[in-house]
Amino acid sequence: MDTKTQLEIEAAAFRTLRNHLMEARPDVQNIDMMNLAGFCRNCLSRWMQEAAADRGIEMTKDQAREIFYGMPYEEWKAQNQTEATDDQQAAFKQAFAENVTSRD
């Protein structure tokens, strides 16, 4: 497989993942994704921001989130996310430390 075709396939797979998370399963909470998988929708938007920066393109966190979510993050969050329980928040602290803080 040539590099261009591989890149197109990877991009298509990413779009499918994004659509699945945003359209098919908006009910899945970001905190649960982070606690179970070590990443969430916000991570995906941050990775987009980092990829843009690698290419010399300035993009704020809010801009990246709006591109990923298709609307301002706070609006999507109000429509789709619920308040986290104490247990979820405790698990999140550990997952964040292991998967985000340790990467930086």
Q: Give per-residue pLDDT as tens, 65-97.
A: 999 999 999 999 999 999 999 999 999 998 888
Gap between the Cα atoms of 88 and 62, Å rounded: 24
- Give all domains of the chain, ordered by start, each with its CATH number: 29-101 (1.10.3340.10)
Gap between the Cα atoms of 84 and 81, Å rounded: 9
Query: Given pLDDT bands bounded at 50, 70 and 90, which one contains residue 101?
Result: confident
Interval 43-69: pLDDT, tens? 999 999 999 999 999 999 999 999 999
DSSP state of 24: I
The pLDDT of residue 103: 60
> Would you state the structure tokens that stand for residue 40, as one six-digit string?
């969430």
Interval 19-39: pLDDT, tens? 999 999 999 999 999 999 999
> Would you state the structure tokens that stand for residue 75, as one six-digit string?
């609006």
Please report where in the chains the tokens 């920066």 appear, as a residue.
53
Percent of the chain residues topping a pLDDT of 70: 97
The pLDDT of residue 26: 95
